[in-house]
Structure 1
Amino acid sequence: MTAARLHYELARHRLTSGMEVVVAPDADAPGVTVNLWVEVGSADEQPGGTGFAHLFEHLMFQGSANVASGEHMAIVESLGGTVNATTSNDRTNYFETVPRGALDLALWLEADRFSSLAITAENFDTQRQVVKEEKRQRYDNQPYGDLLELLLEQHFQAGHPYRHLTIGSMQDLDGASLDDVASFFNAWYPASNVRLVLCGPLQPDEGFELAERHFGQQPAVAKPHRAPVPTAQPTAERLMRLTRPVPHSLTYLSWGAPTASAADQPALSLALAVLADGNASRLHRALVRNSDIANEVHSTLLPNRSTSSVAAILGRPSDGIAVDALSDALLGEVARFIEAGPTEEELARAVAQYERDWLWDLATTAGRADAINEAWLVHGDPGRVNTHLAEVLSVDPDDVRKAAATWLSPEDAHELHYLAEDLR
């Protein structure tokens, strides 16, 4: 399948409850994916009330009117299915892939917890402790565990909704009441704020009928209003330097980038890929292979729906090389890239990698359903799943150079020097 011929069938329908549904038929798929995106993430939390969006990722598996705690996951897995949930700044998603014959059951399980979640003091206290342990394992007790938090501090002012980590503040969770938690659920989890994608061996009419049967009877209330997001204000100090007990020193260069839906997002993604994605990338060849200044270089793009995204390049210096020297070398290479742009060969490599990854994601019903919901949230159009790769393939070297010049200017870079303690 090539980008010019992506033509996944998508049928769209609104239920009487206000929930919107897309059915993506795939007659050859071995199972069907149920993918629900709730339009609430950590960016929708109020100051002093962070961590609630992620908390519900856990609470949603703790039982409902007709399903005991833990049974949702146990039932799906006993049928040979898979089930999970994730949270980001902009959404919380719940998804399972089940055998075709279990679709009705999977939708019943989802509808039961969306309409009658057991928000009890016991469940809240238990999952609050689970989240605390997750934070200890993923952030507090991990080398470089505070890197993301520091990076966000460089790009968003205090109180900005995109500044705090998705996992939230443990102090906020400790101070939350059961009423606070229930109010968050009631505000953000009505059917009107949920998008459902069904992908697999079923026809649209059947998918819509099943969705209406299970979700159509939920109260039809207005979609919640998202507060306007203030303009991001990066810190005035371009350089942050700190020391931690970590194995290696690192340097992070980062920039404010366009929102996830911006027209030049594909060109910027390709610029970062040409610069620092893999051993054939520009920075790896220049600084790792040819000059031994760095042991490794990588790039990343953290997209945000309603405010500036963050683009970053990470470098780990070789033994005997100062972090400042590596940072200067990285900025020098970025400046040269902005001046000349990528070669045809470099861009072709980056596009080929992007195309491979995108088609790999779309190859499964789970990956395709998630991509459909992401296109729906970011662009307001689930059909963008069919056109996105063509947009990427249309990017030329000058588009990439212009995106780099706009968003990766060395003069605008923030530097985060993460220095390893000398433990000798």
Structure 2
Amino acid sequence: MANPARPADRTAAPRGSGAFTATEHRLGNGLRLVLSEDHLTPVASVCLWYDVGSRHERPGRTGLAHLFEHLMFQGSASIPGNGHFELVQGAGGSLNGTTSFERTNYFETMPAHQLELALWLEADRMGSLLAALDQQSLDNQRDVVKNERRQRYDNQPYGTAFEKLVAMAFPEGHPYHHMPIGSMDDLDAASLADVQAFFRTYYAPNNAVLTVVGDIDPAQTVAWVEKYFGTIPGTSENATKPAPADGTGLPPVMGGQLRRVVHEDVPSRALMAAYRLPVDGTREADAADIALTVLGAGESSRLHNRLVRRDRLAVVAGFGMMRLAGAPSVGWMDAKTSGDARIEDIEAAVDEELARLAADGPTAEEMERAQAQIEREWFDRLDTAHGKADELARYATLFGDPQLATTAVDRLLDITAEEVRAITAERLRPDNRAVLVYEPTGAESAAGTEDDATEDEDR
């Protein structure tokens, strides 16, 4: 994977340059350590990214990466039960973990004088969780994850919409075809041997990036990391983790609109769509981000002004982007109808706005507003020690270079209006989208809710 394009040389200082730096270290067992000092507040953030996500799962065992995120909080050989939570929160810190298609991360933000505790806790479960992992812990967290799926996906209006769109945008067998939450059947099928093998394969220091940001003493931090992580063995050469299936080989354009009508008990009709966009880490991905901001981010966007304010066809209308480094990124559109508005009218208006941007590009005012909005969001993330630690870990894990986090906003600010117009014309078009149309059924007819799937053209 090529590194993100660096900004062109300029005589003036970049407008968005971040005022933070990072240093890198490598332990003998392969662990990558990235440090960044920030003495503004007396806190320190520890962020540990493992290079494993749902794209690494094999068929029939979806959801393992997310399930293991939960298991990592169930105790280790040294810290039983909820001890990890209790120690961090008792020391005045906060913690969590998340799973995505491309990685699993764990993080703590602590009072600066409690940094050593956070490092020890992360090293302890990396090195000794397997000794404490048993059938009871697996069964307990399997039930927790299944309930999470019910609450966040299956029992929410439109809750499985993005899951359906992803499955349409990435064909069967593609490593990004399924969501990190996994399926109920696969969660039920996961055995203790499965999760033990998963840990041995992916939870090793040479498959991880550790970032520490905040009010730290770098020399002391390196010494603590060496002390607690340095003795954990890396994955041996004979047991190297399998590479995820290549997800970048798809055609840039789907080659035909995929369409599915969903009959569910939802509040209103809805039109949703997913577009294949350029792989993250490229100028084209940054241009697509700006295009979607112009089209659908906030009340000043084109879709909100057209569909909500002017035509009053929708109560919600917007675009978002899921950046992916190992597969085409996904641009998703969401419009919920107002009253008895017709889906056909909303779709026609959306296509008109896309065609207009593809033909004429954004105005100077739109470019300035979109770039300022993205720049503000970026600096909001960098305003906390955890935000900096997370971005450094992301660029180190997915692109091999944490230093790219310090210049990411400059690359976005370098994008031109012509690049935005060109990527809109190339990717935001009817033959490059998966479409969901939601038709409300009402509670009394919820039993007859089979989906209708159609394909406008051959892929």
What range is the shorter-chain TM-score in?
over 0.9
Deviations 1:349-369 (A, max 9, x none): 111111111111101101110
Of 168-177 and 404-413, the range deviating more from structure 2:
404-413
SS in structure 2 of the partner of residue 312 of structure 1: strand
- CA shift, 1:279, in A, is 0.9
Corresponding residue number in structure 1 for 2:136: 122
Corresponding residue number in structure 1 for 2:116: 104
**Which residue identity is paired with 1:37?**
W
Matches within 5 A, 1:364-379: 364-379=384-399
- Whether 1:256 and 2:265 are equivalent positions in the alignment is no
**Distance across 2 between alignment mates of 1:386 and 1:148:** 31
- CA shift, 1:237, in A, is 5.5
1:260·1:378 contact (CA, 8 Å) conserved in 2?
no
Matches within 5 A, 1:85-100: 85-100=97-112
- CA shift, 1:342, in A, is 0.6
**Distance across 2 between alignment mates of 1:181 and 1:308:** 29
Corresponding residue number in structure 1 for 2:455: none
Corresponding residue number in structure 1 for 2:10: none
- CA shift, 1:211, in A, is 0.8
Unaligned runs of 5+ in 1: none
- Whether 1:74 and 2:94 are equivalent positions in the alignment is no
Corresponding residue number in structure 1 for 2:371: 351
2:21·2:406 contact (CA, 8 Å) conserved in 1?
no
- Whether 1:331 and 2:389 are equivalent positions in the alignment is no
**Cα 1:75/1:267, change in 2 over 3 Å:** same
SS in structure 1 of the partner of residue 275 of structure 2: strand
SS in structure 1 of the partner of residue 76 of structure 2: coil
Matches within 5 A, 1:307-318: 307-318=327-338
Please, what is the CA RMSD of the aligned residues?
Answer: 1.7
**Distance across 2 between alignment mates of 1:140 and 1:414:** 20
Of 55-64 and 307-316, the range deviating more from structure 2:
307-316
Corresponding residue number in structure 2 for 1:238: 258
2:391·2:405 contact (CA, 8 Å) conserved in 1?
yes
Corresponding residue number in structure 2 for 1:229: 246
- Whether 1:140 and 2:154 are equivalent positions in the alignment is yes
SS in structure 1 of the partner of residue 199 of structure 2: helix
**Which residue identity is paired with 1:131?**
V
| Aligned with 1:47 (options 47, 51, 59) | 59
SS in structure 2 of the partner of residue 8 of structure 1: coil
Corresponding residue number in structure 2 for 1:200: 214
SS in structure 1 of the partner of residue 402 of structure 2: coil
- Whether 1:176 and 2:190 are equivalent positions in the alignment is yes
**Which residue identity is paired with 1:396?**
T
Of 410-419 and 340-349, the range deviating more from structure 2:
410-419
Of 315-324 and 107-116, the range deviating more from structure 2:
315-324
| Aligned with 2:175 (options 161, 168, 178) | 161
SS in structure 2 of the partner of residue 415 of structure 1: strand
SS in structure 2 of the partner of residue 264 of structure 1: helix
Deviations 1:282-303 (A, max 9, x none): 1111222122222221111122
1:11·1:204 contact (CA, 8 Å) conserved in 2?
no
SS in structure 2 of the partner of residue 96 of structure 1: strand
Percent of matched pairs sharing the same residue:
38
**Cα 1:396/1:241, change in 2 over 3 Å:** same
1:153·1:235 contact (CA, 8 Å) conserved in 2?
no
Deviations 1:312-365 (A, max 9, x none): 211122222111221111111111111011111111111111111111110110
Corresponding residue number in structure 2 for 1:17: 29
**Distance across 1 between alignment mates of 2:408 and 2:361:** 23
Of 111-120 and 170-179, the range deviating more from structure 2:
170-179
- CA shift, 1:232, in A, is 3.8
**Distance across 2 between alignment mates of 1:235 and 1:210:** 53
Corresponding residue number in structure 1 for 2:295: 275
**Which residue identity is paired with 2:221?**
G
Q: How many residues align?
A: 424
**Cα 1:360/1:308, change in 2 over 3 Å:** same
**Which residue identity is paired with 1:373?**
A
| Aligned with 1:217 (options 231, 244, 250) | 231
Corresponding residue number in structure 2 for 1:289: 309
**Cα 1:235/1:121, change in 2 over 3 Å:** farther
**Distance across 1 between alignment mates of 2:64 and 2:345:** 42
**Distance across 1 between alignment mates of 2:91 and 2:155:** 36
Give the TM-score, by structure 2 length: 0.89
Deviations 1:92-150 (A, max 9, x none): 00000011111111111111111111211110111111111111111111111110121
Of 36-45 and 151-160, the range deviating more from structure 2:
151-160
Unaligned runs of 5+ in 2: 1-12, 445-459
Corresponding residue number in structure 1 for 2:125: 113
**Cα 1:101/1:14, change in 2 over 3 Å:** same
**Which residue identity is paired with 1:177?**
S
- CA shift, 1:371, in A, is 1.0
- Whether 1:321 and 2:341 are equivalent positions in the alignment is yes
**Which residue identity is paired with 2:118?**
A
| Aligned with 1:394 (options 395, 414, 419) | 414
- CA shift, 1:253, in A, is 2.5
- CA shift, 1:242, in A, is 1.6
**Which residue identity is paired with 2:48?**
L
1:157·1:235 contact (CA, 8 Å) conserved in 2?
no
